[in-house]
């Protein structure tokens, strides 16, 4: 199915409704290159992933129109959210997210990975990116990517990020950006120790009324144009969000309203207030 839209369709919205048997949904930027178009996919009321290529062309132009990728997985023990923002080609973001989906699988662990296990996921994702980009004939061997993931269990969230995509946790009491953005991207040759040093990660309680947002920096930058802080916006708009798809749609609309000039990919987990 092709969801491509042209520049004129600035209000177009595609909503993907997975079948009850579908417990994984993936959005690849190469399938959504149309400026102004917005796509949202949900798994039940509590899990969604959304994407737009932005409204205005990026300056300088990106190698590919949309180099982002995002996915969500509903598992029996926990949910997985993952987003990636490719630079200089979409190859690295796709390779990194595909590695995470393969490594964690359809039964994500309940937010209890050891630190070594968590770092290994990112280190191995980087190795997978380097290996494929080094193959003869790769169209964009200089491609690099951010990578951000979260595991959401019944009472806890475990998250990790490398690069400048964000992790925001909000509730009716407020919101906070959990990650620390850094100018480090998968695709370069890093040792395990270097990945561990570059990776920001942590755990947080997961309670009724919480909303967790993972987003590429297209959202952060678009909001900054209007002097809006991403954590403050998520807290104000989504602090009591009970529906993940509506939360994702709200954030996409805000990015489009600020005429985002970069792709925006958002993964959301939400739980209704008690």
Give the C-alpha separation, 108 to 226, whole Å.
37
Let me know if residue 117 belongs to a domain. yes
Give the C-alpha separation, 21 to 132, whole Å.
32
Let me know if residue 5 belongs to a domain. no
The rounded Cα 223 to chain-centroid distance in angstroms is 16
Which pLDDT belongs to residue 1? 25
Let me know if residue 8 belongs to a domain. no
One digit per residue, the tens of pLDDT, for the chain of length 274 reads 222 222 223 346 666 555 445 699 999 999 999 998 999 999 999 999 999 998 888 877 888 889 999 999 999 999 999 999 999 999 999 999 999 999 998 999 999 999 999 999 999 999 999 999 888 988 899 999 999 999 999 999 999 999 999 999 988 778 899 999 999 999 999 999 999 999 999 999 999 888 999 999 999 988 888 777 888 888 877 765 678 998 899 899 989 888 888 999 999 999 877 6
Which of helix, strand or coil describes residue 102?
helix
Which pLDDT belongs to residue 5? 27
Domain that includes residue 41, residue range = 13-270
Let me know if residue 178 belongs to a domain. yes
Which pLDDT belongs to residue 87? 93
Let me know if residue 110 belongs to a domain. yes
Which pLDDT belongs to residue 8? 29
Give the C-alpha separation, 158 to 83, whole Å.
15
Handedness of CA 48, 97, 4, 34 (dihedral sign): positive
Q: What angle do CA 26, 130, 181 make, to 5 degrees?
A: 65
Query: Into how many domains does the chain fold?
Result: 1
Give the list of residues 6+ apart from residue 9 with CB closer than 8 angstroms, or none.
Answer: 34, 36, 37
Residue 97 φ/ψ, nearest 5 degrees: -70, -40
Q: Are 138 and 89 in contact (CB under 8 A)?
A: no
Which pLDDT belongs to residue 13? 64
Q: How is residue 111 written in tokens?
A: 């937010």
Indicate which CATH number applies to the domain containing 135: 3.60.40.10
Which pLDDT belongs to residue 4? 28
Helices 244-257 and 217-225, packing angle to 10 deg: 50
Let me know if residue 1 belongs to a domain. no
Q: How is residue 162 written in tokens?
A: 């490398």
Give the C-alpha separation, 180 to 158, whole Å.
15
Which pLDDT belongs to residue 234? 83
- 218-230 residue pLDDT tens: 999 888 887 778 8
The rounded Cα 38 to chain-centroid distance in angstroms is 15
Let me know if residue 144 belongs to a domain. yes
Let me know if residue 74 belongs to a domain. yes
Q: How is residue 51 written in tokens?
A: 């994407």
Give the C-alpha separation, 96 to 86, whole Å.
9
Helices 91-104 and 115-133, packing angle to 10 deg: 140
Which of helix, strand or coil describes residue 106?
coil
β partners of residue 11: none
């Amino acid at each position: 199915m092709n969801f491509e839209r042209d520049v004129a369709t600035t209000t177009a919205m595609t909503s993907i409704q997975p079948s009850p048997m579908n417990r994984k949904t993936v959005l690849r930027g190469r399938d959504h290159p149309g400026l102004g178009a917005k796509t949202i996919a949900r798994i039940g009321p509590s899990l969604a992933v959304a994407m737009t290529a932005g409204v205005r062309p990026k300056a300088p132009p990106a190698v590919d129109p949309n180099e982002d990728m995002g996915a969500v997985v509903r598992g029996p023990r926990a949910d997985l959210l993952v987003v990636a923002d490719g630079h200089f080609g979409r190859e690295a973001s796709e390779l990194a997210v595909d590695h995470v989906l393969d490594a964690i699988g359809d039964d994500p662990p309940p937010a209890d990975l050891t630190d070594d296990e968590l770092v290994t996921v990112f280190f191995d994702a980087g190795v997978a990116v380097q290996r494929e980009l080094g193959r003869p004939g790769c169209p964009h061997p200089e491609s690099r990517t951010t990578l951000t993931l979260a595991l959401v269990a019944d009472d806890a969230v475990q998250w990790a990020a490398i690069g400048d995509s964000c992790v925001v946790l909000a509730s009716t009491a407020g919101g906070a950006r959990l990650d620390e953005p850094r100018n480090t991207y998968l695709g370069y040759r890093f040792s395990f120790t270097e990945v561990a040093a570059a990776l920001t990660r942590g755990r947080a309680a997961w309670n009724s009324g919480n909303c967790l947002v993972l987003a590429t920096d297209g959202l952060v930058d678009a909001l900054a144009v209007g002097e809006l802080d991403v954590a403050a916006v998520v807290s104000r708009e989504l602090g009591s969000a009970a529906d993940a798809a509506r939360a994702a749609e709200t954030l996409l609309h805000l990015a489009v309203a600020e005429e985002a000039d970069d792709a925006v990919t958002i993964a959301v987990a939400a739980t209704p207030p008690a």
